[in-house]
Amino acid sequence: MSDFRVTRRTFLKGAGTAAAASTLPLSVVELAFADPAQSFTFAHISDSHIQQISGAKFVRNWDRGLIRAVAETNLLQPKPDFVIFGGDLGQLGKKAELDHGAEMLAKLNYPTHCVLGEHDYYLDLGEYWSTLYGPHYHSWDHKGVHFVILNSILTDPKWTYERWPSAEQRMMEMAGLDNPNGSPFMVGEKQREWLRKDLSQVKKETPIVIFSHSPLQKIYKGWNFWTDDAEQVQALLKPFDKVNVIYGHVHQIQYNQIGNISFNAVMATAWPWPYPQSYAQAKQMLPKLTVPMNRADPFFERDATGWQFIDVDTGRVALEYNLYNNTNRKVAFDPKTGQPEDTVFQSEAARIAPQTHY
Ligand SMILES: [Fe+2]
Ligand SMILES: [Fe+2]
């Protein structure tokens, strides 16, 4: 993390205290933004899985996770320029779930971009979601950084359109973690072609941040911690100097470096998934760089859940994980090693005590 960021934070804090934001000397701002990738932060909330029980009754715990993330994001200083929601807003893609989740997200004080998760998609193939959040994939530029949202949770058309007698069953089949009837995620040819065209307008030295729901790398197929055409998407990103992929879906901290591309996963606000390495029945490829989070119990309802804010001051992302019931973590790109590094390593010796089960 550069000294510059600390300076800017301190400065803004002081300016805020003096209520002098409107009289910021422009020259200072210009000096501060001398870096080609102008410094800014954004926040990322993901995987809230808002679930309807019946009527106006929803699973309270999932609601509370999202409400808390929104409230804390609104209190951030400095304020993020925007917020990303990383997908799986609802649990079974129902209108009631998406509406209830959207109502909570609408309380954010910042512009918000949403990524489509499989739980939002497989009931009506993203139709209602689109009325709330627009196209399934798009890109924009912000302060010298090119941002892209992809829909990475598509799958084989035969599976999507022919295999299931009802949309509800299709949704249920895709909603399980280890359901063998699930189908591998993919970005698909049409969207890869769109991405190729989109990136043809971007300069090689422009930092790129891609948001996907599933990892754009292959980690564990059995749980769909996997995107089938990941290598083809990575090939499109290869010509660029600084590429960052931020993904949800895995409900845990993961980080990796493949060539020029840094990968970072974000937390869920709903529940944690175990690390695939804890489940040795099939080959898994948890990235070597990933230091699993020291946590008491992967199914402790609030351990390993939370949200994160992200700095883009070097054109590489640094993720600061705000964890509800665990030590906060920070994973930042280290220019010396050329890869993301956990800067708050949790010692095995200081393991969190297991919770008591009742
Ligand atoms: Fe999820
Ligand atoms: Fe997901």
* pTM higher than 0.75: yes
**Percent of the chain residues past pLDDT 90, beyond the cut:** 71
Going from the Cα of 243 to the center of ligand 1, the distance in angstroms, rounded, reads 24
Q: In this model, does residue 38 exceed pLDDT 80?
A: no
How confident is the model at residue 301, as a pLDDT?
73
What is the three-class DSSP state of 236?
Answer: helix
- pLDDT tier at 5, thresholds 50, 70, 90: very low
Q: Given strand 318-323, what is the order of strands in its sheet?
A: 112-114, 83-85, 41-45, 306-311, 318-323, 329-334, 339-342
Structure tokens at 313: 């001051």
What is the three-class DSSP state of 167?
Answer: helix
Distance CA 186, CA 304 (A): 27
Q: Measuring CA to CA, how many Å separate 220 from each of 89, 177, 206, 265, 321?
A: 23, 11, 31, 14, 23
Tens of pLDDT along 272-282?
898 888 776 77
More confident residue, 3 or 96: 96
How confident is the model at residue 313, as a pLDDT?
85
Q: In this model, does residue 30 exceed pLDDT 50?
A: no
More confident residue, 298 or 103: 103
Closest listed ligand to the CA of 62: 1
Tens of pLDDT along 325-336?
888 999 999 999
DSSP lists the bridge partners of residue 301 as: none
> Which chain residues have CB less than 5 Å from ligand 1, an ion?
47, 88
Q: In this model, does residue 248 exceed pLDDT 60?
A: yes
Number of Cβ within 10 Å of residue 176's Cβ equals 12
Residues 231-240 have a mean pLDDT of: 98
Closest listed ligand to the CA of 47: 1
How confident is the model at residue 14, as a pLDDT?
32
Closest listed ligand to the CA of 48: 1
Of 333, 269, 287, nearest to 68 by C-alpha is 269
Residues 70-92 have a mean pLDDT of: 96
Going from the Cα of 86 to the center of ligand 1, the distance in angstroms, rounded, reads 9
Contact between 214 and 247 under an 8 Å Cβ cutoff? The reply is: yes
Closest listed ligand to the CA of 153: 2
More confident residue, 174 or 37: 174
Closest listed ligand to the CA of 118: 2
| Backbone dihedral angles phi then psi of residue 201, each to the nearest 5 degrees | -90, 0
How confident is the model at residue 349, as a pLDDT?
72
> Which chain residues have CB less than 5 Å from ligand 2, an ion?
88, 117-118, 249
How confident is the model at residue 99, as a pLDDT?
98
How confident is the model at residue 16, as a pLDDT?
31
How confident is the model at residue 9, as a pLDDT?
37
How confident is the model at residue 51, as a pLDDT?
97
- pLDDT tier at 303, thresholds 50, 70, 90: confident
Going from the Cα of 146 to the center of ligand 2, the distance in angstroms, rounded, reads 24
DSSP state of 297: -
- Write out the H or E segment, with its range, that includes residue 322: strand 318-323
How confident is the model at residue 13, as a pLDDT?
35
Distance CA 89, CA 50 (A): 6
- pLDDT tier at 178, thresholds 50, 70, 90: confident
Distance CA 141, CA 231 (A): 25
More confident residue, 313 or 99: 99
Distance CA 82, CA 254 (A): 23
